C-alpha cells in the first residue's frame, strides 16, 4: 500500500493447485482493496506458481527439502515474505507447519483457509473425517494464524450440507467451490480495515467476533 497504490499488498503462500490463489487473483479488481503482490511456494512443482506467473505476479520458491530444520526454513521464508513488504500474508493450501517465531512475526496479519468448520477437524483429511463422523454439515473456515495449528480465532465460515451418498471427493469439491467465495471476501474485509486481531480477539467493524461470520 503506497500513496500511488492504495491497494493492500498480499503475499500468498501455497503448496499445490492454487485454486484459492486463483480466486484471490480473479477477485482483485483494479480498484479493489487488495492486490496479490507475490506468491511463494514450498514446492517447486506447485501448479499454483504457473497461475501466478500467468497473472504477472512475482513468484518465489522456498523448498523445504533444502533445509535441515524447520527454524532455518521458517527464517528463509520470513525473509522472503518481508522483502515484498506485505500488509497481509494468506496461507492458501500451504502445507507446512510454521514455528512460533515465524507466526509471532506476522500475527494479526496472517490468515489461513482450512477445509472444515473449525474447531471441528483441525489437521489433515478433513472431508474423510467429516464423512466418517456422520456430521450433517461441513464447510471451510478462515482464521487468523496463531501458534496453535488451525487453532487461531475463526473469522468466517462457509457451510455445506453433507449428503448421505457423498464420497470424500464429492464433498471436497463442493466445499472448495465455496472456499473460492469465502477467501476473497475475508481478504477484502481485512484490506478495507474492517477485520482486526487484538490481544487474541478478532474484530469485525470494531465489534468482537463471537461466532464466525457466515459467507
Ligand atoms: C483447500 O481446500 C484449502 O482449504 C486447504 O488446501 C486446499 C488447497 O486447495 N488448506 P488449492 O491449492 O487452493 O486448490
State if residue 18 touches ligand 1 by the CB under 6 angstroms criterion.
Answer: yes
At the topology level, CATH places domain 8-114+140-154+180-202 in: Rossmann fold (3.40.50)
Give the C-alpha distances (Å, rounded to integers) separating 142 from 10, 68, 90, 173: 15, 31, 10, 17
Give the ligand 1 atom nearest the CA of 140: 4
> What band does 6 get if pLDDT is binned at 50, 70 and 90?
confident
Q: Which pLDDT score is estimated for 60?
A: 98
Q: Where are the domains of the chain?
A: 8-114+140-154+180-202
How many whole angstroms separate alpha carbon 10 and alpha carbon 191? 9
pLDDT tens-digit map of 68-100: 999 999 999 999 999 999 999 999 999 999 999
Taking a C-beta distance cutoff of 8 angstroms, is the pair 190, 111 a contact? yes
Number of residues in the chain: 215
125 is catalytic: no
State if residue 197 touches ligand 1 by the CB under 6 angstroms criterion.
Answer: no
Nearest CA to ligand 1 atom 3: 93
Q: Model's pTM, two decimal places?
A: 0.97
pLDDT tens-digit map of 147-162: 999 999 999 999 999 9
pLDDT higher than 70, residue 214: yes
pLDDT tens-digit map of 113-155: 999 999 999 999 999 999 999 999 999 999 999 999 999 999 9
How many whole angstroms separate alpha carbon 108 and alpha carbon 198? 7
> What band does 3 get if pLDDT is binned at 50, 70 and 90?
low
pLDDT higher than 80, residue 25: yes
Give the ligand 1 atom nearest the CA of 176: 2
State if residue 138 touches ligand 1 by the CB under 6 angstroms criterion.
Answer: no
- pLDDT averaged over every residue in the chain: 96
Distance in Å, CA 178 to ligand 1 centroid: 11
Q: Which pLDDT score is estimated for 2?
A: 66
Give the ligand 1 atom nearest the CA of 21: 13
55 three-state secondary structure: coil
> What band does 5 get if pLDDT is binned at 50, 70 and 90?
confident
Give the residue among 42, 50, 46, 98 at the shortest CA–CA distance from 66. 42
Amino acid at each position: 500500500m503506497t500513496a500511488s497504490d492504495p491497494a493492500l499488498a498480499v503475499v500468498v503462500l501455497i503448496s499445490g493447485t492454487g485454486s484459492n490463489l486463483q480466486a484471490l487473483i480473479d477477485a482483485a479488481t483494479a480498484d479493489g482493496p487488495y492486490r496479490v503482490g507475490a506468491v511463494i511456494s514450498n514446492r517447486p512443482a506447485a501448479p499454483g506458481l504457473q497461475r501466478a506467473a500467468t497473472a504477472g505476479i512475482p513468484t518465489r520458491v522456498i523448498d523445504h527439502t533444502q533445509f535441515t530444520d524447520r527454524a532455518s526454513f521458517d527464517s528463509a521464508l520470513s525473509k522472503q515474505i518481508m522483502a515484498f513488504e506485505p500488509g497481509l500474508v494468506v496461507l492458501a493450501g500451504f502445507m507446512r507447519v510454521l514455528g512460533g517465531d515465524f507466526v509471532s512475526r506476522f500475527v494479526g496479519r496472517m490468515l489461513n483457509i482450512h477445509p472444515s468448520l473449525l474447531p471441528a477437524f483441525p489437521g489433515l483429511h478433513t472431508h474423510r473425517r467429516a464423512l466418517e463422523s456422520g456430521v450433517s454439515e461441513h464447510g471451510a473456515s478462515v482464521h487468523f494464524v496463531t501458534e496453535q495449528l488451525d487453532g487461531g480465532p475463526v473469522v468466517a465460515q462457509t457451510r455445506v450440507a453433507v449428503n448421505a451418498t457423498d464420497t470424500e471427493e464429492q464433498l471436497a469439491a463442493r466445499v472448495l467451490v465455496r472456499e473460492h467465495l469465502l477467501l476473497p471476501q475475508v481478504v477484502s474485509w481485512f484490506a478495507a480495515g474492517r477485520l482486526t486481531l487484538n490481544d487474541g480477539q478478532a474484530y469485525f467493524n470494531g465489534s468482537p467476533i463471537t461466532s464466525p461470520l457466515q459467507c
